Structure 1
Amino acid sequence: MQQQHKEAVYQIIHDAIRSNKTTTKVIRQQLRKILDPLSVKEEDREPLLDCWLQVMEKEKEKKKKPKRKIEKISPKSKKSKNAKKEYEDKIMSCLQEKYDLEKAVTIWNDMLRDGIEPSKETYLNMFTLYYENSDTKEIRDKAIAFWNDMVTNHGVQPDAQAYGDMIGILWSDDEFKEAIDLWDEMVSRDIMGSRDGYCYMISLLGRHKWFDEAEGLWEELFKNGMEPRLQVFENLILYYYSERRNAFIRDKAITFWTKNWPARVPHAGKALPLMIGIYMEDEDYEGARQLWEEMDRIGMKHTRQSYNYMILYFAEHGDLEKVKQLWKEMHARGFKPDVNTQYLKYLSEIQQTV
């Protein structure tokens, strides 16, 4: 076969490969179309056909992709289908076993290093671990940084419990404005606050003397079928007590107290001696005496403040025997009397008779 015939055939081969025309029928048609004008004899065409087919087979072999080698995948490899679940299960175990934050952070970093994006649930579990360990400023700062990254960079939408935990962290650092903004954000998303979230916000509002707002959330808490922690009630009475010389605040405190004790809060705890002080400041001596007797009835030890208030009460009522009794009890417990101008006039007489 002449050289020009070979070149023509090879050109047809490459054109056919590019156009994927690889059937024998098509090949013969192409040969006839090209070779007829070249006066190639019929007996010379069969070798050309064979040549063409051989070249086509070689090209097909080149195009075949090699089979992927099956590798044994390590459990920690990002290629493993089970790796994500394994990591997340380990973080969950840290949550269930003594809130081991340090161990969880190590697992978390390994997970990210392997290129595995945690699920929303795992993000929230990690934040819970930060919250449960947030007794130091260092951990609280890390918790806030984690929260911001979780919400801003990864689009995780917190649930009610996560909002409550975050407000608790802000409460610890007295981040008043930030806590209010976060609560408003939660409400705007139609998420009902958790019990802890309500408790933290009520305490924070009371701390900053936003008594109306605090009482509003208090009522909302009960409306939503939840009950406050005793410490929240004690804190709110404490904040009222700090403003007891303001007659308007005293009235609000007494109204709040009578509405909730004992109907809603039968065991008032540390709030009892504080309310004795509020009643005494309001010159409601009978109310103060009843709370003193309630402390005796439930076996609650009197505080330094309650002793001082009741010494004043019995002194005002001329019951010096009771005054001397309480004076002895107070000193026996290591308490010192207040140098209160309201009962300085009784002090010398008490000291002489004890």
Structure 2
Amino acid sequence: MKVLVTGAAGFIGHHLSKLLIKEGYQVVGIDNINNYYDPNLKLARLEDMKINTDHIQYNVPVEGDITFVKLDLTDKEEIKNLFKKYRFDFAVNLAAQAGVRYSLINPHSYVDSNITGFLNILEACRAYPVKHLVYASSSSVYGLNENIPFKTSHHTAHPLAMYAASKKANEMMAHSYSQLYDIPTTGLRFFTVYGPWGRPDMALHIFTKAIVEDKEFEVFNFGKMSRDFTYVDDIVESVKRLIPLPPKPNNPDFDPKNPNPAISSAPYQLFNVGNNSPVALMDYVQAIEAALGKKGKIVYKEIQPGDVPSTYADVQPLYDYIDFKPSTTIQEGIKAFVDRYLELNKS
């Protein structure tokens, strides 16, 4: 079975591609290898999948454990040509402009990558149908909602930043294509993913780097925050199980007079993917300190625009659907990250 993984040089895409290879899938991965963060980390992830990064050219396949193609989601014609060439059974769209705070600085990049790019994937799926399109949404779509835990049945009309708005737009776009063209789509609202090979703009990497280098680091809202931190292996296991389980049309549970946003009469569904166990931010920091055997130099700050004080995922619908619930503890996950971080950053 052929599966496309967009963002294959990214954090989650790298882990998912490796897992799908073990499961016997033929994986084609694409990534534009942009400079939002150090491209060398993206190249290192590709090298971990036996891709010779010396030979990467735009739109030229390179063979390793996966077939890798450097390609931008905004390249409409070449995205469609890719689908025509490989005739994918499944597609997993993880490529996106990430980061809530960066969206305050460069909102246009979120429209280009997350909206125009996703539209190109949907159009390619329309032209060359797949059995299932799985795509990354985000817990940030819950925005001003303070009903805890967050449920996919909640309405999400109040995003706080352009990143969240673009992910909400993805969900709505997917629904329209599921409705109009019978494309089975599943949106996944990821909750604070962390683990080895994680992005350098994420809190775990920032905190770890600062502690290792004996530098100060900022903790926002004076540390009074909590997150449903979800280990990357639990994330990709969930995605792997979902890929062969597309939603079916005419869901008998959908009531058009009282519509649940997570399901539809179209082949469309949404799930939270979280640990279902929020952790106080300061407990998270202490777990990093314990893994490193060293105290950090914390500078407390007010909450930043676009941030929310807490996240907490209701994952029961996901558990019922795939018989799997994320369970990795932060102690286990942080130790795995720290071990990989120290290995990648040997002096």
Indicate the structure whose relative CO is greater, using CA pairs within 8 Å and at least 6 residues apart: 2
Q: Which protein has the bigger helix share?
A: 1
TM-score (norm 2): 0.27
Q: Who wins on radius of gyration, i.e. which is larger?
A: 1
- Is the strand fraction higher in 1 or 2? 2
TM-score by length of 1: 0.26
